[in-house]
Structure 1
């Protein structure tokens, strides 16, 4: 077989050519950004005057999707940014001059105010849009460039491309989770539930959901977990939640060869699951998967690994409890539950009594005995 090598084509580009090309691309980028800023002004005017109604559209987002070729999410973000810029004249000025990309402006409008926008512009000067995104991550509106991020606000965007049959199964699973919880489950919660083995059996004692590998600062006690190759801080409530029902692997800086140890002794954990019917004990909760064992009396307050101090909770109610939205009192299985809504409001869920009545001295709740024989 003959192999003929094709001659390489050499393109001769003069210095003047590539410099002119670079200058042209830079100018086009500036003009593009300036056009985006100009568009933002017109978007606010179009929304305020209900232009979309004159053309038969029910919302501005629908108009932008059909006429301006934006996706629904991009349309809402463009309109949000356009309205935020009305109160941020310095950022708007640089945007109109083509000196600040839309991506950077989008991130700055999440945190900047008239009082701190100049400081933000100084700090982010010369930064890429990705750099700005990292700088504002975990911050709230009004926070300055040097503010400490709130670990609860730190998120990572994950984009998946899957076959249509997998997408259909995903939608069915999301719908099932929403129905089980009785509310919309966030993307993070749904993924966490699936990673914990949501398709596993419901009638067996599952192992602790978390193998705990948390680096803790010895001085400030801040906990960190590894994410995307970097150590990310976690809120103290999250650290307490993870430590409730976990397997501890020991000091990561130690050469100790001790075996991983569960937070709760396996025998106690197994009996708690059987007593609580392999289900969350919160009245009205239908969850029988993604379960944790929780200490009613927090361990930091002297709670022990005993039957009367431990109960089974689903991951959603476990999170609510550590966030202060749910209070559990009493000794298992005679527990009372109190939900704490925003403000001084009484609701049907404010106070709930014990979960079930007992048949006697046995460890099997009424109504569950036949099911498990």
Structure 2
């Protein structure tokens, strides 16, 4: 079965002011396809959960050359480590809850319901049915929260053929085979997400959920589809961007851009620059792509299109460029911390803010003060850390602590102590990657080092990069 279960004519957006659009019929048709897509995506999650469980048990990210699970999931799967861990945890719980697992397989429970129930349910059954309520009905109580004729029957949607058998025998697979299978599930889920985003855009823009008795879009998404309202809105936002930049939309639909890469470049993509940014997103790691998008946003003049920087270019000068005083603020700082830390942060901002000024001005002065104090401190005894930006130089690694000064050509093999033979790596990559034989590096630091991740005897490496640029296709 193909992943795209929605007919092509249904996926064509209606005209903005077309008179032929019948809201009642469209609501029922789109709702039916959305429910089928949600069921298909939920079953893909079930397969993904079994693969993720086997992968986490083996600490597969280390065998593939990644120090952190989050670095692996962003680079290879295009999702967060938290989502992968959640999928694995739910899959493990379902094995001990056969009744819930059967209800999920039959489409009676959504993935969101399974995730909530699996955290508190147990395999024991009730000793006897719970007693029926003897409370008389309230005459003022609303009898139905939704439309009375709304179909709530379970939908057991088949998953794509290429996904259905991927969980079979996964407990005996090595991390490399599990990586291949998980990436196949991700591609299938992305095709489902593309269809869902296109239908949701019409459904939410026309507020068709109101015709079905739902008070808000969030209520419809949660109760009817069992999906995250945040993820759904992100799908709609990405869908709107694909219509502004067709090349970007085609790459996302075909799976050439992962979810994370698509979200990363969406703020900077325009119709004129879409092809260039799509090409760059396929050539570099997510870490480098983030740096280049931030560079482009920082140096952009208003809403003018900005092409990607030259390959391998240094981005420091653009990231620290001066901004005109008249320019409106376009950034927001959000963080979560204990109440005492938040109070201390507010006090520090107020200390740098005059009575007639906005708080963001005081925050800017406070951050400048911290930067100046940092720069005034004595330089670190090892200049390699500062040259490499105080972070691990291994491709896709996000570590900025426990840094080591590594000799590209080992001193035991004749390597010298010159700076072009030294590079910054984190402790995990140094000890468990390079010296464990899972990572190889050669060349001239800092920009001429070639890295191989996921090295194993008799096979090609998982990744080969020149700096943060892929040497071969991923």
TM over 0.5, shorter chain: no
Length-normalised TM-score, structure 1: 0.39
More helix by share: 2
Length-normalised TM-score, structure 2: 0.32
Q: Max radius of gyration: which structure?
A: 1
More strand by share: 1
